[in-house]
A and B are shown apart, each in its own frame.
Chain A
């Protein structure tokens, strides 16, 4: 079955960077786009951006542009999301989510990032 397994929780200091991975199984990574979504504690879902694993092209939400980089490694069926210049407001759960025919369908298990001094 289709699964998206994300890397474990991270604790970072303000100003640092974090890189979260999302390993896909049960389908061909390069056949479908992948989104990244942020969820701050007690808050809703916020779309961060999208990557086309086939060619590595990306599109980021204006709020994160300049601070986020999404990449992929097709040899390991893994996509990555790196967020730089972390602030306390970046404390959140980050999800990868697959796009199928214009609709998000499968979600990863989430990665908690805590920004703390």
Chain B
């Protein structure tokens, strides 16, 4: 199974400052079709997860442009250019390159300092 390791697990950030979350895979996430099925989700307190980024770097509709995704192979990053209060929550990476089982990272809890 593909293991996704996120860091840090806890991320205190000052409002207006940038934030970065890493997601490292135990094997390359490049699919045989050439695509990389690595997605990022945000889960605000008491809410269902919401997808922010799909296939490494594609922002979902309605997601602020301060969120960006990058990476290749086994190393991926979610960046927030300027953290706002509404960004508080837990962020997860998830892979779909290995069709089954799907796997998630452990989650990174972002809080305001």
Counted as pairs of residues, one from A and one from B, with CB atoms less than 8 Å apart, the total is 56
Determine whether the beta carbon of A104 is less than 8 Å from that of B48.
no
The verdict on A80 contacting chain B, using a C-beta distance below 8 Å, is: no
Instruction: Decide yes or no: A44 and B37 within 8 Å by CB, A95-B48, A105-B51, A108-B48 being known contacts.
Output: no
Q: How far is the CA of A105 from the CA of B103 in the complex (A)?
A: 15
- Main secondary structure, interface of B, reads loop
**B interface size (C-beta, 8 A):** 26
For A99, the chain B residues whose CB sits under 8 A away are 96
* Cβ < 8 Å to B, chain A residues 2-46: 35, 44-46
Interface of A, secondary structure class, is strand
Do residues B49 and A103 form an inter-chain contact, with CB atoms below 8 A? Answer: no
- Say whether B104 contacts A45, CB under 8 Å: yes
Number of interface residues of A (CB under 8 A): 21
A109, B48: Cβ atoms closer than 8 Å: yes
CB nearest to A63 among chain B residues: B101
B104 close to A44 (CB less than 8 A): yes
- Decide yes or no whether B79 CB sits under 8 A from chain A: no
- Name B48's closest neighbour in chain A (CB-CB): A107
User: Which chain A residues numbered 37 to 71 have a C-beta less than 8 Å away from chain B?
Assistant: 44-47, 50, 59, 61-62
Q: Using CB atoms and an 8 Å cutoff, list the residues of chain B in contact with chain A.
A: 31, 35, 37, 39, 41, 48-51, 54-55, 60, 90, 92, 94, 96-97, 99-107
Q: Can you list 8 A-B pairs, Cβ within 8 angstroms, ordered by A?
A: A47-B101, A47-B102, A59-B100, A61-B101, A62-B101, A102-B97, A103-B54, A105-B54
